[in-house]
Structure 1
Amino acid sequence: MHSMPSLGSAKQDWRKWARTTRKSTPDVSEDVSQHLAQWIYDQDIQHVLTYKAFGSEVSLERLPRLLPEVSFYVPKAEVEPDPHMTIHRWDTAIQRHPLGMLQPPHGTPEEDPQILQLVLIPGLAFDQQGYRLGYGMGHYDRFLLSLSRDCKLIGVTSDALLVSKLPHEEHDVPVQWIVTEYGLTETNSGF
């Protein structure tokens, strides 16, 4: 395993470290899904944006089966006219994206992001302040700024990719909680 970059390292060095670390980390999807299902149930949340995992991301495919009474949605990354995300019902994600994840096909009806009570956010790594190391496209950061302040944000990762501090930009939006195979922890985001 590569050693963790220093805080002053470029984001691409952090991304390389995170990808290598994630590939060598056991799959924690089952434990993470169980923790999330219990938390969502306890919070009485009804509208959740999750994601379709690709590569070695933590998979949350079981959540809709664990919580059949909850409405789940998936994002679709769009690049035209400007990079942005649209929201669609979970079961519409049937088309393979070039990166490998499933997404809704062109023309699928969009849902209003204002109904979301919770957004589950994948990332290459997260830090204890709630900042996310993403893939560098900025789709989530732009999208998160458009949500209701009441919408809860949870970063999804393995404990091996939860670090004390990541480099971040002023426009980055921190999550309030992070879930790993050990459960949910509140961040120091102050969000």
Structure 2
Amino acid sequence: MENKKEIRKQMKAYRAGLKTEKKKQMDQAILTHFFEIERVQNAQHFFVYTSFGTEIDTISLIKMLWKEGRHVYVPKVNGREMDFYEITSMQDLKKGYRDILEPIDTLLPVHGISGIMVMPGLAFDRMGHRIGYGGGFYDRYIASQKNSLYKVAFAYYKQVFSKITVQEHDQTADCIVTECETIMQDT
């Protein structure tokens, strides 16, 4: 299996090569599949990354969740750690770490809330293993949590491999949602 660095490079190039209209269609299909998951339908609390660059659009997801009266928490990087903060409008966000939208400074982090976490990543395998961007923020955050988070990864079908090499500290997704299918782990 290729190393993580090479896989990251390949997957960034793949996403960058997607045509705008095709990407929009694929993103919409992923959101449709996401809302078909029973756990998602019944959940009230969502921990969602704010999409950046060529990532699957989660800003639309955040707005959809607000319309349904659900709680949305987004991450903010603080040094080597990451915390989640509840946001109730787009005005609660500003550019932060690597110019990614993060909660404004007046908001307080939340702790001990169970719910659905939507995880970013560059590559995944069918067992839920993931290759992120290399910062380890999600791995450390999930490992530190005592609350129950059902971890859903958004990925394009071509980002899902049969097997990727992982390390002991790497956190897995409970479910991977692509434009073609939903891959559930036995949990």
TM-score range, shorter chain: 0.7 to 0.9
1:96 aligned onto 2:89: no
CA deviations over 1:21-73 (Å, ceiling 9, x no partner): 12123412211122223326764101010111011000122223333221111
- On the 8 A contact 2:81/2:141 being kept in 1, the answer is yes
> What TM-score results when the alignment is normalised by the length of structure 2?
0.85
Offset, 1:93:
4.4
How do residues 153-172 of structure 1 correspond to structure 2 at under 5 angstroms? 153-172=151-170
TM-score (norm. length: structure 1):
0.84
Matches within 5 A, 1:127-138: 127-138=125-136
Aligned residues: 178
Cα deviation code 1:128-157 (max 9, x no counterpart): 111111111100000111234632111111
Aligned to 1:106: 105
Structure 1's unaligned 5+ residue stretches are 1-6
Aligned-pair RMSD on alpha carbons? Answer: 2.0
CA distance in 2, matches of 1:154, 1:118: 7
Contact between 1:74 and 1:93, CA under 8 Å: does it hold in 2? no
CA 1:98–1:46: 2 relative to 1, 3 Å: closer
The answer as to whether partners of 1:54 and 1:99 remain within 8 angstroms in 2 is no
Q: What does 1:1-191 align with in structure 2 at a 5 Å threshold?
A: 7=1, 9-25=2-18, 26-27=22-23, 28-39=26-37, 43-67=41-65, 68-79=68-79, 83-90=80-87, 91=89, 93-97=92-96, 99-112=98-111, 114-148=112-146, 150-187=148-185
Cα 1:57–1:152, aligned 2, differ >3 Å: closer, same or farther? same
